[in-house]
Structure 1
Amino acid sequence: MGFDVRRFDIYRKIPKDLTQPTLTGAIVSIASCSFIVFLLLVELSSFLAAETKNEMFVDEAKPDDKLEVRVNVSLIRLSCDFLGLDIQDDLGRHEVGFSGNTKKIPINDGAGCRFEGVFLVNKVPGNFHMSTHSARIQPMSLDFGHEIHEIRFGENVTNVEGLGAFAALSDIDMTDKSADSSFDYYIKLVPTIYQDLDGSQRHTYQYTYANKHYSQHGHGHRVLPAVWFRYDISPITVKYTVIRRPFYHFITTICAIVGGAFTVAGIIDSMIFTASEVFRKAELGKLS
């Protein structure tokens, strides 16, 4: 007699005439199959959706690192003829009337000015401010009431706004404040790296801010008001990485769902069947 490979079958089959279908078994089977389908759909949805993990580490900044700043601010009662941008930092940079890659757009029939610009600053604490310091002639009255449309640091990440405050200074209205007031915004920057599924990275900055406005008076001389943006940089970098679970993890979970659901359903069906048999015997008085 030849070797019969069927002896390795661990899934031995039971003839149908040796099995007994029951109503409760059918109900449990339908319920378990429905539950399995529901869990499979949930797991498939979870598998297809990308996840975002985050980590933190100390930023290894280099001396020549630069920080990109995007500014979009409207000063509704100050003419573009007087408005300028000044930049200072702790490395000794001090530029008055910076104009590289910036533009001034007259608004309110020339009575106001919209300032837009993208410029680089050293990656150290510092400030940039909008003032009339670079104007040859100062206006008779100064009103720095303004609207901040957007202040951003680093690369634009508008499609992941839910992860952090990348543009906390947006839609800020300070137009109703008194004339001759200065405005200070104190900004705390957190370096942030966003890595997409394809491995590409964008370097940006989340930030929080506090602000105040005040009238400043010197000793016997006029102190010109301005809109100051003072920033400091955290040494801790936050990295967000978009990932998708590996396929083998999905298959493992599917096997666990199917096997576990069938096992639990079988136990429930067996308990119900055993209980019904005991109850039936008790009615017939055959319990010993």
Structure 2
Amino acid sequence: MENILSVKGITERIRSLDVYPKVLEDFRIKTFGGATVTIISGLLMSVLFISELNYYLTPELREELLVDVSRGDKLRINLDVIFPHISCQFLAIDAIDVSGEQHINIDHNVFKRRLTLKGEPIDAPEKDNTIGSVNRTAKEFLNKVVTAAPTPSTTTLDPHRCESCYGAENARRKCCNSCDDVRQAYSEKGWAVNNLGDILQCKREGMSERLQDFDKEGCQVFGYVEVNRVGGNLHIAPGKSFTKHHIHVHDLNINDFQRFNLTHKIRHLSFGRTVAGKTNPLDGSVQIAEEGSMMFQYYIKIVATLYAKSDGQTLQTNQFAVTRHKKPVFESLTENGMPGVFFIYEFGPVMVKYSEINKSFMHFLTSVCAIVGGIFTVSAIIDSLLYHSIRAIQKKIELGKAS
């Protein structure tokens, strides 16, 4: 008996600690105002819970600045540029870096698509999902685009002939059997070819007539180039490019180069791998050549960027800032530069690292408890104020009727 009494005493003491006293069902009053407050509170609680859950599931992006030690790797340059007023056969794509390495007349993984003056493709190369992979090789495609069909006269020429270089012969080059041979010989001498129509080889190949049609088509240059991860420039310029005495030169007719209209639209330019959500400042930009032949320069500062995902995967790419400059090219190609679009890039000394950090579950649980408890408390206060206010008004009304 004493044990039972002691147990009851302990139970009563525990009950006395209850800060949530219960009211019998018969004494509870449910009102329309209380129901309204409950519905609004439930909706608000649901919205805040979903918002907090979304915040918890979204990793936090932490930014750090590190010293860039990624020298020696290759840099991939992705480009897609449209020239609406110059034919593909007059554009050359070259890359030069500060170490002295040169990529001349690039055609590997970079392609030229002929366009009408309205921007419609004339002969689009077939390619798969990988930029640069085509059913035909780049050489085959460019030969089809650039090289005119041979005339009957060229098919009957003596293969052992030795034609004149028009005064540009040297110990290594005795014969010039094509227009390109003559132009190369003149370039080696440092001479300019002023009139291709005066050269039999060029006239036979129809080069002079084709030069008159350089602005009858447009051109889209697209693909990618892999270069050394050092400063340098990638440029798209008219004229055949070559190296002479370790100097990069473009073969341009001084009488015709001012007619080149290098108005262009950069559909895409990026460095490194593509990352979803990353913006490239030059995408969609348009530059118009107002004064005939012009030189467009884009000074680009590249910052290496590393994305470290929460699952341990890393993705290395690049961000860049750009400064634009353009100027007309007048009489001298050497003093005023040369017509073309130049992307001059250099690397910053730092690397930006973005790390995905998962948020703490305890922080999420604390926030949910704060939302639920806070809304319940505030809604109880509002419900109590409404209930007592309505009761007070009703009492006053009843007293007024009684008097």
TM-score range relative to shorter protein: 0.7 to 0.9
Other structure's SS at 2:90 match: coil
Equivalence for 1:134: 241
Looking at secondary structure, tell me which structure has more strand per residue.
1
| Sequence identity percentage | 26
> Are residue 43 (structure 1) and residue 49 (structure 2) matched?
yes
Cα distance between partner residues in 2 of 1:76 and 1:18? 85
Equivalence for 1:224: 338
**Post-superposition CA distance 1:69-112 (Å, at most 9, x none):** 10111223333323222212233333322333211222236733
Contact 2:66–2:353 (8 Å) recurs in 1? no
Equivalence for 1:263: 377
Cα distance between partner residues in 1 of 2:360 and 2:380? 31
Q: Equivalent residues in 2 for 1:182-201 (5 A)?
A: 182-196=295-309, 198-201=311-314
The change in CA–CA distance for 1:116 and 1:179 in structure 2 (over 3 A counts) is same
Is the deviation greater in 212-221 or in 64-73? 212-221
> Are residue 249 (structure 1) and residue 363 (structure 2) matched?
yes
Out of 94, 97, 102, the residue aligned to residue 105 of structure 2 is 97
Cα distance between partner residues in 2 of 1:171 and 1:277? 67
Equivalence for 1:181: 294
Post-superposition offset of 1:64: 1.0
The change in CA–CA distance for 1:186 and 1:21 in structure 2 (over 3 A counts) is same
Equivalence for 1:124: 230
Other structure's SS at 2:364 match: helix
Equivalence for 1:147: 265
Cα distance between partner residues in 2 of 1:220 and 1:154? 33
Other structure's SS at 2:365 match: helix
RMSD value, Cα: 3.6
> Are residue 233 (structure 1) and residue 347 (structure 2) matched?
yes
Contact 2:52–2:367 (8 Å) recurs in 1? no
TM-score under structure 1 length normalisation: 0.75
**Post-superposition CA distance 1:37-96 (Å, at most 9, x none):** 413322223413525524031243233122211011122333332322221223333332
Structure 2 unaligned residues grouped into runs of 5+: 117-121, 123-144, 146-216, 243-249
Out of 94, 110, 121, the residue aligned to residue 86 of structure 1 is 94
Cα distance between partner residues in 2 of 1:60 and 1:146? 33
TM-score under structure 2 length normalisation: 0.57
Q: Which has the higher contact order (CA 8 A, sep 6+)?
A: 2
**Post-superposition CA distance 1:110-161 (Å, at most 9, x none):** 733221121222333221111234278646443322221111111112x314
The change in CA–CA distance for 1:8 and 1:143 in structure 2 (over 3 A counts) is same
Report the count of equivalent residues.
276
Contact 2:64–2:354 (8 Å) recurs in 1? no
Looking at secondary structure, tell me which structure has more helix per residue.
2
**Post-superposition CA distance 1:157-182 (Å, at most 9, x none):** 2x314xxxx32212223355333211
**Post-superposition CA distance 1:187-219 (Å, at most 9, x none):** 222333344565443322233322122123576
Q: Which amino acid aligns with 1:128?
A: L
Structure 1 unaligned residues grouped into runs of 5+: none
Contact 1:145–1:178 (8 Å) recurs in 2? no
Cα distance between partner residues in 1 of 2:42 and 2:280? 44
Is the deviation greater in 195-204 or in 147-156? 195-204
Post-superposition offset of 1:35: 2.2
The change in CA–CA distance for 1:114 and 1:20 in structure 2 (over 3 A counts) is closer
Larger Rg: 2
